[in-house]
Amino acid sequence: MKYEQQPPILVVFAGLPGTGKTSIARKLTTRLGATYLRIDAIEQALQQAGLAVGPTGYAVANALAAENLKLGRIVVADCVNPVHASRTGWRQTASQTAARLVEIELVCSDPVLHRQRAENRVPDIDDHALPAWDDIVSRHYEPWDRAHLVLDTATGTLDDLVAQAEAHVRGAID
């Protein structure tokens, strides 16, 4: 039986902290058998090494994504992705590796629920300081300049949202 490899796929999650990106991205990664890249983990490692973070975390993540995409992998990137420049970086990575790009933005349309989630989160990365609610709502987050999948975590269960994301990714495969 001849195996035909599909083009690699780069799935980029975006959204403010506390919207559910990590929960959904992790479950999707498992379902797809993908490679998982989390900006928070990369940035925390840079900080612990005494290095400046800034755009460096995204640069490292894009380089790791590119290496995995060259191997034909599906890569799931879990990040806030708040500005056009970071989104352009992912788009360039996909283009340079001939990968299909799937962009998924998570929002929480219920501010009370979003705040509750943000304030009740527990860090799952050693020494990672989670942003306070005031930092989340005052964060610079640029509007998107092109079509992408938007999932509202206030209106669906985790399993429903993962299923929607998976269907969208699998649609990019066909």
Q: Note the pLDDT tens digit of each residue in 51-87.
A: 877 888 999 999 999 999 999 999 999 999 999 999 9
Query: Is residue 37, in this structure, part of any structural domain at all?
Result: yes
Number of domains in the chain: 1
DSSP strands (E only) in 22-153:
35-38, 74-78, 100-107, 149-152
Query: Is residue 1, in this structure, part of any structural domain at all?
Result: no
Range of the domain at 124: 9-173
Q: Which two three-digit tokens encode residue 23?
A: 């929960």
pLDDT reading at 21 higher than 80: yes
Distance, CA of 110 to CA of 73 (rounded, Å): 35
Tell me the CATH number at 15: 3.40.50.300
Q: How wide is the angle at C-alpha 55 spanned by C-alphas 48 and 44, nearest 5°?
A: 20
Query: Is residue 88, in this structure, part of any structural domain at all?
Result: yes
Predicted pLDDT of residue 5: 60
Query: Is residue 139, in this structure, part of any structural domain at all?
Result: yes
Q: pLDDT category, 174, cuts 50, 70, 90?
A: low
Q: What is the mean pLDDT of the chain?
A: 91
Q: Which two three-digit tokens encode residue 108?
A: 């929480």
